[in-house]
Amino acid sequence: MGVVAAGQPAPEFTLRRQSGDAFTRADLDGETTLLVFYPFAFSPVCTDQLSLYQEMLEDFSARGVTLYGVSCDATYSQEAFRRELGVTIEQLSDFEPKGAACRAFGVLHPGGFPQRALVLVGPDGVVRWSYEAPSPGDLPGANLIFDALDG
Amino acid sequence: MAESLGSAPLPPVGPGDHVRGPEDARLVVVYGDYECPYCAALDLELARVPLRVAFRQFPVTSAHPRAQAAACAAEAAAAQGAFWAMHDSLFADQGRLEDPHLWARAESLGLDVARFDADRRSSAVAEAVRAQFRSGVRAGVATTPTMFVDGERHGRPDENLWARLLGA
């Protein structure tokens, strides 16, 4: 099973925000949301995907899109990673039960971490576009997201 | 309607590009960031081979806080005919990219430092860097360095790509 396809409703899920509060399907209502699933905080790539998307944040905002990073790392690790990258994109943790939200979105790798994947959910809670990278080292360019947004 | 940022082909190398290398050599287009160590490594490798290289700015500022200033410094040096001299200077010493270092580099390259300083803060230079960055985004650049060979996107070349590039 691959990443949840366009036209499907977003699944029920619970992630943990940096504040410790829950982030659920209800938080997607009325918003255009891009969930950026990445394998691990601090994985060894030089310029991270999130750094690139951070550069384009104004362009995402202009299109009414809010971005979140999602991984199975603990909140504290994600926060340290966010600071290390110097990005403001909020991180959501799928730590416990580990990988449950990633599994619901169809992006849980058998190794227990998210595939590198993107899920764009419209204000109606329906998946507008999704993408799974061919390999974890293959960083999806922002152009692919703008193709979905502007197309 | 906001400016489109969706996928677009790599803009062809034109008069606005910084290009060096033998006229008849194979042309590659590199998108890089002066604060990225992998970009510096690639730049060294490219200096040793007979290729023609076009360099475009791709500063990722969240990861590299001085990348934008460095990119603007190179573009400002270009206005005084010293793009590649500044480019080499920046990659040769990535630990010194604060303003006084940039002024010192301009001075040692014999540039008009006051003009250099005004140019690097100008909106024209900022726009040139931004346009290069965006052309890269639209062509699918997601990490640095990214090198285009015959329109195909690559990261740092592996052995096979070097062999192909050098016609071995």
DSSP state letters, A107-134:
-B-TTSSB-SEEEEE-TTSBEEEEEE-S
Task: Assign A48 a pLDDT band (cuts: 50, 70, 90).
Answer: confident
Angle between helix axes B99-108 and B113-120 (nearest 10 degrees) is 130
Q: Does A62 touch chain B (CB under 8 A)?
A: yes
pLDDT of A46 above 60: no
pLDDT digits (tens, 9 = 90+) for B82-140: 999 999 999 999 999 999 999 999 999 999 999 999 999 999 999 999 999 999 999 99
Angle between helix axes B67-78 and B83-92 (nearest 10 degrees) is 150
Size of the A and B interface in Cβ pairs below 8 Å: 76
Phi and psi, residue A105, nearest 5° = -85, 0
CA distance B96 to B78: 20
CA distance B145 to B55: 10
Do residue B143 and residue A55 have CB atoms under 8 angstroms apart? no
Q: Does A142 touch chain B (CB under 8 A)?
A: yes
User: Out of A41-55, A106-120, B65-79, B120-134, which region has the weakest mean confidence (pLDDT)?
Assistant: A41-55
Do residue A86 and residue B7 have CB atoms under 8 angstroms apart? no
Q: Give the closest of A55, A140, A150 to B62, CB-based.
A: A55
Q: What is the CATH number of domain B25-165?
A: 3.40.30.10
Task: Assign A137 a pLDDT band (cuts: 50, 70, 90).
Answer: confident
| Residues in chain B closer than 8 A to A86 (CB atoms) | 62-63, 65
| Residue-averaged pLDDT of chain A | 94
CA distance A99 to A115: 11
Q: What is the pLDDT of residue A136?
A: 80
Residue ranges and CATH numbers for the domains of chain A are 14-150 (3.40.30.10)
Q: What is the pLDDT of residue B168?
A: 59
Closest C-alpha to A123, from A4, A27, A12: A27
pLDDT of B2 above 70: no
ipTM: 0.90
Do residue A46 and residue B37 have CB atoms under 8 angstroms apart? yes
- DSSP category for residue A28: G
pLDDT of B1 above 70: no
> Which residue in the block uniquely carries the two structure tokens 């003009």?
B115
> For the residues of B51-114, what is the DSSP string, one character each?
EEEEEEE---TTT-TTHHHHHHHHHHHHTTT-HHHHHHHHHH-TT--SHHHHHHHHHHTT--HH
pLDDT of A101 above 70: yes
* Paired tokens of B119: 């140019």
pLDDT digits (tens, 9 = 90+) for B42-69: 999 999 999 999 999 999 999 899 999 9
CA distance B161 to A79: 38
Do residue B38 and residue A48 have CB atoms under 8 angstroms apart? no
Do residue A143 and residue B5 have CB atoms under 8 angstroms apart? yes
CA distance B36 to B65: 11
pLDDT of A59 above 90: yes
Residues A21-42: what's their mean pLDDT? 96
Task: Assign A27 a pLDDT band (cuts: 50, 70, 90).
Answer: very high
Do residue B62 and residue A85 have CB atoms under 8 angstroms apart? yes
* Paired tokens of B152: 């195909």
CA distance B113 to B117: 6
Q: What is the pTM of this model?
A: 0.93
- Please, are residues B139 and B154 in contact by the beta-carbon 8 Å criterion? no
Question: Which of A38, A49, A54, A55 should be substituted to probe chain B, the one whose Cβ sees the most B Cβ atoms within 10 Å?
Answer: A55
